[in-house]
Amino acid sequence: MIGIDAIDGKLLDAVQAGIPLVERPYRALGEGLGLTEGDVLERIARLKADSIIRNIGAIFDTSRLGYRSSLVGFRLREERVDEAAVLVNAHPGVSHNYLRSFAFSNDYRPAAYCPYNMWFTLAVAPESQLGLETSMAVLARDAGANAARLFPALRVFKIGVRLDMDAEAAGVRKETGNFFTGNGAVGNGLSPTERQIVRVLQHDLALVEEPFREVARQCELDVEAVLAGAQELLQRNIMRRFAAILNHRKAGYAGNVMVAWPVPEEKVEAVGLQMAQFRAVSHCYQRPAYPEWPFTLFTMVHQKSREACEETVAAISLEAGISDYAMLWTTREFKKVRLKYFTEDYAAWEEKAATRIPSKAPLEPSDQAVAHGLAR
């Protein structure tokens, strides 16, 4: 990490936890750290200039805004990957898109599996005419996927990337608390004013003493109304937190891996809660298993190196008593942005896509396809 001292580390931990929703948030941050408002502004400006802080803004619960979302897995031939990434990335509801490779624990090999190699998140707006399944089907056909699956979250045990700036151990640090305050409920009960507040708060917060004055101007409200509206969204768990998002690599976290665990249904809850306690685990979900995909729990692990990731995963495996797992390592990053809500881009994409709806359902790997080499 270039240019990060001990005070920067404490500040980065604080801004990831949450920015105070008050008229002078940077002064409030400084008071908790023994820094002046000017020092906080200067340090954050430098950390942003060095691309360590990506942005500061509201982090929303997608489902509570009325959006439907899912992780998606595509199986693509190598020669199709680049073109497919461009087509997939064009959907406004795709915020993250990666090419991933498989590595299994010890001698573990599932009896049958399909190595989905492109993994991305897909969201559709509350007013969507096509819906999640049809949108994925259009993307699968356009991309030339050999196989495609939706992996929606059935249960969320933890969500939220918070890189531990003081961690010295290889991912064994634990944390306690309520890692996910939502209950998965889908809602669409926002007023027009609340929608406007969401539209503005999702953008990067200015580095000035009273940044919410500009937010209020764009919302055509006074500052007190904006802050009260933001607090209301936070209390209703529509906003998960108002915080900084860091650039993993620039912050010293060069390693990240998605781990898929074949946990029996009756053990999913206990194991999911156990895995969520590891500080290095940023996301922990239960997702559906399929004949060609026997994995029920997904965890995202962020660490300072690949080796540290492997040590963390081994520690999780030992404590949870789950020795079989698949590690999906990122080999290419095609897209990584904040999802934008309540824009016209979704309707525009669907209008064009409506002429390309496949006559058949998305490709699902057949037992024969898995047995005859698609999965190998």
Indicate the length of the chain as a whole number.
376
Which of 303, 301, 290 has its CA nearest to residue 328?
301
Q: What is the pTM of this model?
A: 0.88
Encoded tokens for 277: 């306690």
Residue 132 to residues 5, 242, 350: CA-CA distances in angstroms?
45, 27, 11
Tell me the one-letter amino acid at 364: E
Encoded tokens for 191: 């007023």
pLDDT one-digit tens code per residue, 55-89 = 999 999 999 999 999 999 999 999 999 999 999 99
Percent of residues, the chain, with pLDDT higher than 90: 75
Give the domain ranges of the chain: 1-50, 64-173+250-374
List residues bridging with 284 in a β-sheet.
Answer: 158, 299
The average confidence (pLDDT) of the chain is: 89
**pLDDT(13) > 50:** yes
For 64-173+250-374, which CATH class? alpha beta
pLDDT one-digit tens code per residue, 226-249 = 999 999 999 999 999 999 988 877
pLDDT of residue 256: 87
Confidence of residue 149 (pLDDT cuts 50, 70, 90): very high
pLDDT one-digit tens code per residue, 192-208 = 999 999 999 999 999 99
Confidence of residue 253 (pLDDT cuts 50, 70, 90): confident
Per the residue annotation, which of 96, 248, 302, 372 is the catalytic one? Answer: 96
Confidence of residue 376 (pLDDT cuts 50, 70, 90): very low
Looking at per-residue confidence, does 183 or 113 come out higher?
A: 113
Cα 88 to the center of its chain, rounded Å: 17
pLDDT one-digit tens code per residue, 272-287 = 999 999 988 989 999 9
pLDDT of residue 279: 87
Q: Which residues, in sequence order, are CB contacts of 123 under 8 Å at separation 6+?
A: 62, 67, 68, 69, 93, 94, 95, 339
pLDDT of residue 170: 42
A 10 A CB-CB count for 323 gives 11
Instruction: Quote the Cα angle for 20-37-238, to 5°.
Output: 15
pLDDT one-digit tens code per residue, 328-370 = 999 999 999 989 999 999 999 999 999 888 876 666 665 444 4
User: Phi and psi for 223 in degrees, rounded to 5?
Assistant: -60, -40
Q: Which residues, in sequence order, are CB contacts of 42 under 8 Å at separation 6+?
A: none
* 218-235 core/surface letters (b: 16 or more CB in 10 A; e: else): ebebebeebbebbeebbe
Range list of H helices, the chain:
6-17, 25-33, 37-49, 81-89, 131-143, 192-201, 212-219, 223-235, 268-276, 306-320, 345-353, 367-369
> What residue has token string 């895995």?
275
pLDDT one-digit tens code per residue, 293-337 = 999 999 999 888 899 999 999 999 999 999 999 999 999 999 999
Encoded tokens for 200: 């503005």
CA pair distance 257, 310, nearest whole angstrom: 9
203 is annotated as an active-site residue:
no
DSSP codes, 120-175: EEEEE-TT-SSHHHHHHHHHHHHHT-SEEEEE--SEEEEE-----TT--SSS--B-
Percent of residues, the chain, with pLDDT higher than 70: 87
pLDDT of residue 356: 86
Q: Which residues, in sequence order, are CB contacts of 34 under 8 Å at separation 6+?
A: none
CA pair distance 233, 172, nearest whole angstrom: 33
Do 304 and 253 meet the contact criterion of CB atoms below 8 Å apart?
A: yes
Reduce the DSSP state of residue 36 to 3 states and report it. coil
**pLDDT(211) > 70:** yes
